[in-house]
């Protein structure tokens, strides 16, 4: 479900599987957000500045999905929490005050670079 801005609420395992599949083409951002936590509300405000799609997991409304993400990815649950997936794997994660639009953008950029290098080899020449 498309929300204001660039947040897309996901609530089920099928949506998570689609995100994981999409991460094989380009990095995806998952935001585990608590509807009752002021720290999470502040992180949500900071993520509104992120220029890209964000899959939003509202933990109170999607507890089973939140647990599934933790189990499948091996990243201990926190909220707020950002997980960047690339090639179906965790490329980066952060929680609480580490979450900024700039940090997430940098993590996505690095994940995309690493993904391209893994596919086509490093474009840098040996010195």
Q: Please check the confidence at residue 14 and state whether its pLDDT lies above 90.
A: yes
Structural domains in the chain, CATH included, are 7-119 (3.40.30.10)
The residues, ordered by sequence, that sit 6+ positions from 54 with a Cβ below 8 Å of its Cβ are: 6, 7, 8, 29, 30, 31, 47
Closest by CA position to 50, among listed 11, 110, 93, 99: 99
pTM score of the predicted model: 0.88
Q: What is the mean pLDDT of residues 76-92?
A: 97
Confidence category of residue 119, pLDDT binned at 50, 70, 90: low
Q: Are 93 and 109 in contact (CB under 8 A)?
A: no
Q: How far is CA 116 from CA 5, 29, 84, in A?
A: 28, 18, 16
Q: Please check the confidence at residue 5 and state whether its pLDDT lies above 70.
A: no
Given this model, what pLDDT does residue 1 score? Answer: 45
Q: What is the mean pLDDT of residues 6-24?
A: 96
Q: Largest alpha-carbon pair distance within the chain? A: 53
Given this model, what pLDDT does residue 37 score? Answer: 97
Confidence category of residue 117, pLDDT binned at 50, 70, 90: confident
pLDDT (tens digit per residue) in 28-72: 999 999 999 999 999 999 999 999 999 999 999 999 999 999 999
* 3-state secondary structure (DSSP) of residue 28: strand
Given this model, what pLDDT does residue 32 score? Answer: 98
């Amino acid at each position: 479900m498309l929300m204001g801005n660039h947040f897309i609420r996901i609530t089920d395992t099928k949506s998570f599987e689609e995100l994981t599949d999409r991460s094989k083409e380009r990095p995806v951002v998952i935001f585990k957000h608590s509807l009752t936590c002021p720290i999470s509300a502040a992180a949500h405000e900071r993520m509104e500045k992120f220029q890209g799609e964000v899959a939003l997991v509202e933990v109170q409304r999607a507890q089973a999905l939140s647990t599934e993400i933790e189990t499948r990815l091996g990243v201990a649950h926190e909220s707020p929490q950002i997980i960047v997936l690339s090639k179906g794997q965790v490329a980066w994660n952060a929680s609480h005050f580490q979450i900024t639009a700039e940090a997430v953008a940098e993590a996505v950029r690095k994940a995309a670079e690493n993904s391209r290098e893994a596919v086509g080899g490093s474009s840098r020449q040996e010195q």
